[in-house]
Structure 1
Amino acid sequence: MSVNIREVATTPFNDQKPGTSGLRKKTRQFQQPGYLENFVQAIFNTLPGKAGAKLVVGGDGRYFNREAIQTIIRMAVANGLGEIIVGQHGFLSTPAASCVIRKYQTLGGIVLSASHNPGGPDEDFGLKFNAANGGPAPEQLTNAIYVASKEIESYRISESEDIDLDTLGDVHIGNARVRVIDPVADYAELMRSIFDFGKIGAMLKSGDFGFCFDAMWAITGIYAKAIFEEELGAPRGTVINGEPLTDFGGHHPDPNLVHAKELVAKLFSDDGPDFGAASDGDGDRNMILGRQFYVTPSDSVAIIAANARLIPGYRDGLRGVARSMPTSAALDAVASKLGIPCFETPTGWKFFGNLLDAGRITLCGEESFGTGSDHVREKDGIWAVLCWLNMLAERQQPVEDIVHEHWLTYGRNFYTRHDFEGISSEDGAAIMEHLRTLVASPKQVSDWLENEGAETGLASCDDFAYTDPVDESISENQGIRLQFSDGSRIIYRLSGTGTVGATLRVYIEKPVKEAGRQQADTQETLAELIALSRKFARIEEISGRTEPSVIT
């Protein structure tokens, strides 16, 4: 197919600074003339060695994905890329995109997703660049992209026809080749190399084990049906809400107890299945449930680490583990017993990527329903579910029993996250500035806690800063921490994953070693710390919010 290249004059937009998960805006912002093109050109302007190189393109199937992919292909051709690998129908889950980037040794990939955010013409859209290691672009690169977006004067685009994204095969456009690939095949091959599919399949086909996976009308539906039902033999209907829809069926594709209502109702019914799981819009998050039992993400990563040798891909043991700072310290206890390092990083998968690339860790996870390992450079929902299925097939115990045994061995970290969604950016900033002022004086904080009658004293307080042990880069202002003498913690962060206003996340944790106290209710156990957390941050006084939007 011959092609003409156009150089289109443009002017910069002032709001194209990527966050930890790329650029996320309302869909209509991305649909503005030149908005998508400017940001994509800014990416290409910062990439060295792009002439003749390979690029992966795919997304979660949300509204505007297909149109955006056609534009990106035309621009990739015009900017001299040699091969563009795109998932059939434009589909690639975020972990599958990482897998494909790594397998085919590409320059990187453009992933179109706003993760767990709602989709549709009036909802959210996102785009990020993943580097050659398969992981999110490092801050140095995202900063360069932002600078390029502010200086852009034109973008390059070919005048070629749309690619047929629904048919597998190759199309040549000028000097470039566009490959439409099966979005599941390479990822499924990788999963086979890690897990005991024979043992998992025998359990799923036995008729004695009930399993339900909620794809939330999002991208993992195609992966879950192919792997769980077609390959492993789970009964048809095991995967619910399995067709990827551009608006996720009007739902919020976030796998938590609030938004995965149908799955939660099934698992907490009297005759529910033995095991339940859900994933999010782009397939990188996961929620794990047993029969009438919820596994916190912090416990999940700790339990996977403690049982890793049951999984063929990790039988040689773990080099180390890592968790994000707000994630509970349950993983630390496992690492201590295994005699391996445990790194505490800021929130954002790119920090794990450095440790994974350097061979310092094998497993990692964060409290926001993300778990992963060195098999890719993204968190991975389907992989996490397969970890649990492999453990369940080996141990032949209910989920609840596995978790309770873990607590008896390592202690239980009672843990909750309270999200105050949709507060104004100004109120969010005011709360964080108030907190930073307070923690600058630990004695003031200690005196305040004593005056409030806190049960335990303050051990330390700070605004978390991280020095990367691999590249020695420093990341400051990563969250306010109050750490108590008994190991309890209160942490505050503003989330960067939304597109409107701000989300204040408050994390509360209390470790309990005594077996007789480990079956208590989480919110009751943490009630004093919860009350302290709201009063200390002046949440109601500043934002007017008396209760969180979501509790997990």
Structure 2
Amino acid sequence: MIETVATTPFTDQKPGTSGLRKKVKVFQQAHYAENFIQSVFDVVKGKQGATLVIGGDGRFLNREVIDKAIRMAAANGFGRVVVGQGGILSTPAASNIIRQRGAIGGLVLSASHNPGGPDEDFGIKYNIANGGPAPEKVTDAIHARTKSIDEYRIASAASIDLDAIGESQIGEMVIEVIDSVADYADLMQSLFDFTAIRGAELTMAFDAMSAVTGPYAKEILERRLGFAEGSVRNGTPLEDFGGHHPDPNLVHARELYDLMMSPHAPDFGAASDGDGDRNLIIGRGIFITPSDSLAMLAANAHLAPAYAGGLKGIARSMPTSAAADRVADGLGIPAYETPTGWKFFGNLLDAGMATICGEESAGTGSDHVREKDGLWAVLLWLNILAATGKSVKQIADEHWGRFGRNYYARHDYEGVDSAAADALMTELRGKLGELPGQSFGLLTVEAADDFAYEDPTDGSVSRKQGVRVLFAGGSRVVFRLSGTGTSGATLRVYLERYEPVAGRLDADTAEMLAEIVAAADAIAEIVRHTGRTQPDVVT
């Protein structure tokens, strides 16, 4: 039986770059999740009889909202819902299933790297038929619908057993519960040389951060690749991620970092985040920044079977360091600088213009799916180590010796008063015209702008994507407000100093960036606007 429920709009359901993210208690309001899901379904064209994929990262509220989403899908005319066992699908695994099954799209229930639990965060994101995040024209339409919605449709049905693999039905719609891991693991085995990795007898530590990647990592790393049992740490997904913050950076993955800097370090260390799309890469005695990881993976991708024929292009988000650009130049292939958000990469990948993409926020991926993919990056690193017989540090040193080094860090000021953050960005934009030619210490501003991007695939233009201040010699600082939090604003300051091949390639990053840090505060007056004398997180 299909029930039509009267409702009234909520005023705070504008999806960001990664869907709608709010505190759990917000989603627990009567009709809140239903309003948003119905708004998505109202926007989707051609849904009658179509296949929809649903899965999430296992955080608190995951099962409850999946149950509602399945029953609403039945009431809205979908023909089949494919859902991960236990309601679990990592974000890249969901993208893969959408593509494999020819689905019209999918609902990914996650707040990514944000904390989970009854008092923490939850999120819903809609991915389109290519497996990637919905573009702005779709999210804008969803938002518009949330502002006028007056009813939603939901099927009355017994509670759905998400743990039993197989098929069941609500009315005419088939519910197919699948093994969350198998299809993704098979995809990874088709891309990389598992025999070579297994034969290299490497040792590693992988921190799944009590999040969604645990079952995938255990199957691929320990079972298929033969890494010792226990190589995967915190491998059981928990609704609250064990009380930890599932963000793979040097603050929240400190235990892994300390191990990799110790005399007892294995050959390779890595971590992933809440929904499995981000990664952290650490070698014995060396941390590899996400920007450098993108560049090094691109430079060595030909060592893996899937990329042996070369790359079509490399894409990076604007805040990501220019290290990947130097690789593209060396390989004689295009380099693309896009706004933050994987949907921009998806356009390039769909058009066959790029093969490998990456963001400084620990996300890298390729044309195998339309999302960033944490385990993919880990496996490509392992393939490179196995093929070369070199350590992570050797790979890095040789890379910098060939391309030069982009010293890089991101400073996050979290929970900043939104009005203060907006005032900082407004004042900064107002002074862009007068910055060129000014000197800050030994740094001279060469150019300054508010980054805008014209998509080469469809001509669409995205403006106000972050303020760039470019210094003579290839160094720069970038300022952005992040849209991935659920309270206040996060000011992100990206600091980059380029050292050519003949320069200092083995210096301390903090030392090399000190002058740029000082310039960033002088230019944006961070202390005056925020009251903060130092960032909350440095990555």
TM bin, normalised by shorter chain, reads: over 0.9
> Structure 1 residue 329 and structure 2 residue 319: aligned?
no
Which of 486, 499, 502 is equivalent to 2:486? 499
> Structure 1 residue 96 and structure 2 residue 93: aligned?
yes
After TM superposition, the structure 1 = structure 2 runs for residues 131-150 of structure 1, keeping only pairs within 5 Å, are 131-150=128-147
Aligned residue number for residue 517 of structure 2: 530
> Structure 1 residue 202 and structure 2 residue 199: aligned?
yes
Aligned residue number for residue 521 of structure 1: 508
Alignment partner of 2:436: what SS? helix
Alignment partner of 1:469: what SS? coil
Aligned residue number for residue 111 of structure 1: 108
Aligned residue number for residue 44 of structure 1: 41
> Structure 1 residue 392 and structure 2 residue 385: aligned?
yes
> Structure 1 residue 445 and structure 2 residue 435: aligned?
yes
Query: CA shift at 1:516, angstroms?
Result: 5.4
Query: CA shift at 1:457, angstroms?
Result: 2.2
Assess if the C-alpha contact under 8 Å between 1:78 and 1:156 holds in 2.
yes
Identity %: 60
Query: CA shift at 1:499, angstroms?
Result: 0.3
In structure 2, how many angstroms separate the alpha carbons of the residues matched to 1:220 and 1:386? 13
> Structure 1 residue 292 and structure 2 residue 289: aligned?
no
TM-score relative to the length of structure 1: 0.97
> Structure 1 residue 277 and structure 2 residue 266: aligned?
no
After TM superposition, the structure 1 = structure 2 runs for residues 26-425 of structure 1, keeping only pairs within 5 Å, are 26-203=23-200, 206=201, 209-425=202-418
> Structure 1 residue 434 and structure 2 residue 431: aligned?
no
In structure 2, how many angstroms separate the alpha carbons of the residues matched to 1:280 and 1:362? 23
In structure 2, how many angstroms separate the alpha carbons of the residues matched to 1:163 and 1:11? 27
Alignment partner of 2:298: what SS? helix
Per-residue CA deviations over 1:325-348 (Å, capped at 9, x if unaligned) read 000000000000100000000000
In structure 2, how many angstroms separate the alpha carbons of the residues matched to 1:169 and 1:58? 15
Per-residue CA deviations over 1:114-171 (Å, capped at 9, x if unaligned) read 0000000100000000000000001000000001111101000011011111110000
Aligned residue number for residue 443 of structure 2: 456
Query: CA shift at 1:456, angstroms?
Result: 3.3
In structure 2, how many angstroms separate the alpha carbons of the residues matched to 1:542 and 1:20? 25
Q: What amino acid maps onto 1:271 in structure 2?
A: H
Alignment partner of 2:435: what SS? helix
Alignment partner of 2:387: what SS? helix
Alignment partner of 2:443: what SS? coil
Assess if the C-alpha contact under 8 Å between 1:5 and 1:157 holds in 2.
yes
Aligned residue number for residue 7 of structure 1: 4
Q: What amino acid maps onto 2:445 in structure 1?
A: L
Q: What amino acid maps onto 1:17 in structure 2?
A: K
In structure 1, how many angstroms separate the alpha carbons of the residues matched to 2:302 and 2:447? 36
Assess if the C-alpha contact under 8 Å between 2:403 and 2:501 holds in 1.
no
Assess if the C-alpha contact under 8 Å between 1:414 and 1:511 holds in 2.
yes
Assess if the C-alpha contact under 8 Å between 2:402 and 2:501 holds in 1.
no
* Stretches of structure 1 lacking an aligned partner (at least 5 in a row): none
RMSD: 0.8
Poorly superposed stretches of 4+, deviation over 6 Å: none
In structure 2, how many angstroms separate the alpha carbons of the residues matched to 1:261 and 1:542? 30
Q: What amino acid maps onto 1:495 in structure 2?
A: S
Alignment partner of 1:28: what SS? helix
Assess if the C-alpha contact under 8 Å between 1:196 and 1:311 holds in 2.
yes
Count how many residue pairs are aligned between Structure 1 and Structure 2. Answer: 539
Q: What amino acid maps onto 2:44 in structure 1?
A: L
Alignment partner of 2:353: what SS? coil
Alignment partner of 1:418: what SS? strand
Q: What amino acid maps onto 2:436 in structure 1?
A: S
Query: CA shift at 1:514, angstroms?
Result: 3.9
Query: CA shift at 1:510, angstroms?
Result: 0.9
Assess if the C-alpha contact under 8 Å between 1:346 and 1:466 holds in 2.
yes
Q: What amino acid maps onto 1:509 in structure 2?
A: E
In structure 1, how many angstroms separate the alpha carbons of the residues matched to 2:300 and 2:508? 26
Q: What amino acid maps onto 1:250 in structure 2?
A: G
Q: What amino acid maps onto 1:249 in structure 2?
A: G
In structure 2, how many angstroms separate the alpha carbons of the residues matched to 1:210 and 1:184? 23
In structure 2, how many angstroms separate the alpha carbons of the residues matched to 1:163 and 1:92? 17
Assess if the C-alpha contact under 8 Å between 1:118 and 1:248 holds in 2.
yes
Per-residue CA deviations over 1:399-446 (Å, capped at 9, x if unaligned) read 00110000000000111111111111111101100110011x1xx213
Assess if the C-alpha contact under 8 Å between 1:456 and 1:486 holds in 2.
no
Aligned residue number for residue 499 of structure 2: 512
Per-residue CA deviations over 1:212-232 (Å, capped at 9, x if unaligned) read 000000000010001000111
Assess if the C-alpha contact under 8 Å between 1:253 and 1:281 holds in 2.
yes
Query: CA shift at 1:515, angstroms?
Result: 4.4
Q: What amino acid maps onto 1:257 in structure 2?
A: L
Q: What amino acid maps onto 2:80 in structure 1?
A: E
In structure 1, how many angstroms separate the alpha carbons of the residues matched to 2:121 and 2:503? 46
In structure 2, how many angstroms separate the alpha carbons of the residues matched to 1:147 and 1:373? 32
Q: What amino acid maps onto 1:512 in structure 2?
A: E
Aligned residue number for residue 489 of structure 1: 476
In structure 1, how many angstroms separate the alpha carbons of the residues matched to 2:423 and 2:520? 16
Q: What amino acid maps onto 1:103 in structure 2?
A: Q
Assess if the C-alpha contact under 8 Å between 1:306 and 1:334 holds in 2.
yes
Per-residue CA deviations over 1:304-327 (Å, capped at 9, x if unaligned) read 110011000000100111000000
In structure 2, how many angstroms separate the alpha carbons of the residues matched to 1:497 and 1:296? 20
Q: What amino acid maps onto 2:285 in structure 1?
A: Q
